[in-house]
Chain A
Amino acid sequence: MTRLLRAALLVAAITTIPLARATAQDTLQQAIRIGLRYDPNTKPGVLVLRIPGVTGDSLRAILQRDFDNGDRINVVAADETGFPDAPIAGKNGNYPLYAKLGAVAILQATPTASGLHVAVHDVAQQKIARVKDFAIDGTPNSRQWRMSVHNVSDELEAWVTGVHGIAATRVAYVQGVRNGRLYVIDSDGAFPTPVGDDSGAMSPAWHPKGTHIAYSVVGSHGCCQIDILDLASGAARRIEAVGGGLNSTPVFAPDGEVIVYTHGEESGTDLFATTAFERGPARRITVGRGSDNTSPTFSPDGRRLAFTSGRLGHPEIYISDADGTNPQPLTYSVGDQNYRSNPDWSPDGRLVAYQSQQTDGSFQLNTISLRDRSVKQLTSDGSNEDASWAPDSRHIIFSSTRTGSKQLFVIDSESGRWRQLTRNGGVRLPAWSPPLTR
């Protein structure tokens, strides 16, 4: 029995030797998938080997931080002084050492003329499971360069866990409580960058392709008009079809062609729709009969909307068909808590995140399941508002007073682990971008 096992291992070792020697070559079949079964409750350990070259330390730090921020991978820390060499299979191979460190995968990256050559070793199988050459654009440590590296992180995360990472994304938000400016920041907190020229910007929303941001602009005579900013050119265009008066909280439909927004008149504040890029008429969606209806969010299939409505005298989350028919309450009053608002539908369609006011006046973030209406409270520290889902339907960006002035934070809705994204106070209304590929 044991003899048989040993023999089998020997055979395995022998067959993998040539593969392991060819550490960073493209001769391996791309189709080989890393043989890990991802379990959301356990995070596979991944060790990122030291990367040679002048940008090696930066590259390694970004990859490790991206994996850590993704909350699906346990970044294995190696003893940096006695750092082990690249794994070698065979009788005197060092794979078992990596296994002892808790790594199930080893990531070996080598800079090339055009980017990065990456090999992922499967520690259990003692062999390279997959290799790929990634292009890295831009000068080292520039915004573009870092986004290229984030793209590498996200694909590697998919290799290991089966789920694409969220590092190559950005967050749009408003800096300043009065006369706010629109900003965009990388998912890891790098490069907070003002975009657009408008003072008084509110409620940014991303185009599904990540190319444009729609937002409202508070004017000197009141709220608001709706602008669409082209991120490539930096030019903003006003949507004339909305007319005068209150126009706020625009969102793109999943097709990217239609925007739904809030329009207020004397007779009430309702949701309307119009075309985003071509001149078209505005068409009413909700019929609130004098109540306030605002903050729409689309289901990922574009067939339904969730929004805040005060039609029962206090704000609650409602769901309707995309044309406004069949409105139904999604949330209900619980005890003294009769204020729920700002819904955001998760990209996988399962949950709606929203904020619920507590008896002490603070807001806390909840999610509600569309399947069984079960509610989960995500936050309890400070006041937490403006939830926006990451593309992985797991992480949420939000504004919080937990450290004093309003800052943006990211929370992992599975584990509750959170991190601070911004360092400049007085920020609010974040919106997480779709995946941004170069």
Chain B
Amino acid sequence: MHRASRAVSLSVIALVALGACKKKPEVAPAPVEQPASAPQPAPPPPAPAQPTCDAACVEARNNAAKGEAIRAATAALTATIYFDLDRSDITDDSRAKLDAKVPVLSQNTAVRIRIAGHTDSRGSDEYNLALGQRRAAAAKRYLTDRGIDGSRIEIVSFGEERPTCTDESEGCWSRNRRDEFEITGGQITAVQTSSR
């Protein structure tokens, strides 16, 4: 099930990459897009048929694939994680998201990040600054425990001073109890298909 959905998303990535190449795939499973695979997003408009993909085409295709992989790695590295009320423990959801950041950081040693801890609007404004700090520190500790050099990770807190939403409901509060990740230095260049 999980594997299947991953395969689907991989093929989407491949199709997007091919679309960027604007050429027909050599070894495409189907010469024409199959409308049968309904859940897939609409692929790019079919390009006029070309006999082969020359060297430039291959390179472009590889670059496109790599660009997409870098975008995916960047998204993984900057994905926000969320916390329970008044807690700084890493939840199961957050653990998966943090695990996805580890290979990106370990393969791109020039990359530096800043983790900003935030809280919801309940609680004391002053105490929440400290709580945000603790949340940022918890994520940093998770990453350094997995071999990432701590000097590459800056932590800050905004407390409840920078909410993403302001209505007083659990839906909003849960979105504000978060760590945000920002790349502050270096570039993601190395991307490996990791077994996550």
Residues of A in contact with B (beta carbons under 8 Å apart): 177-178, 200, 202-203, 218, 221-224, 245-246, 248-249, 262, 264-269, 292-295, 308, 310, 314-315, 339, 341-342, 355, 357, 361, 363, 385-386, 428-429
Contact = CB atoms under 8 A, between A and B. Distances in A.
B124 A222 contact: no
B81 to A, nearest CB: 17
A203 B86 CA distance: 21
Given A178-B162, A222-B116, A308-B124, A266 B140 contact: yes
Interface string B101-142: 000000000000010100000111111011111100100110
B126 A342 contact: yes
Q: Is the interface of A mostly helix, strand, loop or mixed?
A: strand
A274 B2 CA distance: 56
A315 B140 contact: no
B188 interface: no
B155 interface: yes
Contacts of A269: 130, 133-134
B151 to A, nearest CB: 12
Contact of B124 (A262, A267, A385): A385
Interface centre among B123, B125, B130 (most CB of A within 10 A): B130
10 contacts: A202-B129, A245-B155, A248-B129, A264-B157, A266-B137, A266-B155, A268-B134, A341-B127, A342-B126, A363-B124
A264 B114 contact: no
Contacts of A246: 129-130, 133, 156-157
A272 to B, nearest CB: 13
Contact of A295 (B127, B131, B137, B162): B127
Contact of A266 (B125, B129, B141): B141
B33 interface: no
B125 A292 contact: no
B134 A292 contact: yes
Given A222-B116, A266-B137, A294 B129 contact: yes
Contacts, number: 102
Contact of A294 (B114, B126, B140): B126
Q: Chain B interface residue count: which class?
A: 20 to 34
Contact of A222 (B140, B150, B156): B156
Nearest to A429: B125
B141 A202 contact: no
Given A264-B157, A315-B124, A292 B130 contact: yes
Contacts of B161: 177-178, 200, 202, 218, 223
Contacts of B125: 202-203, 385-386, 428-429
A202 B137 contact: no
A266 B159 CA distance: 15
B181 interface: no
A341 B116 contact: no
Contacts of A428: 125
Contacts of B157: 222-223, 246, 264
A308 B126 contact: yes
Nearest to A269: B130
Contact of A249 (B126, B131, B133, B158): B126
B137 A223 contact: no
A372 B155 CA distance: 42
B127 A292 contact: yes
A310 B126 contact: no
A59 B66 CA distance: 78
A324 B80 CA distance: 37
A267 B114 CA distance: 17
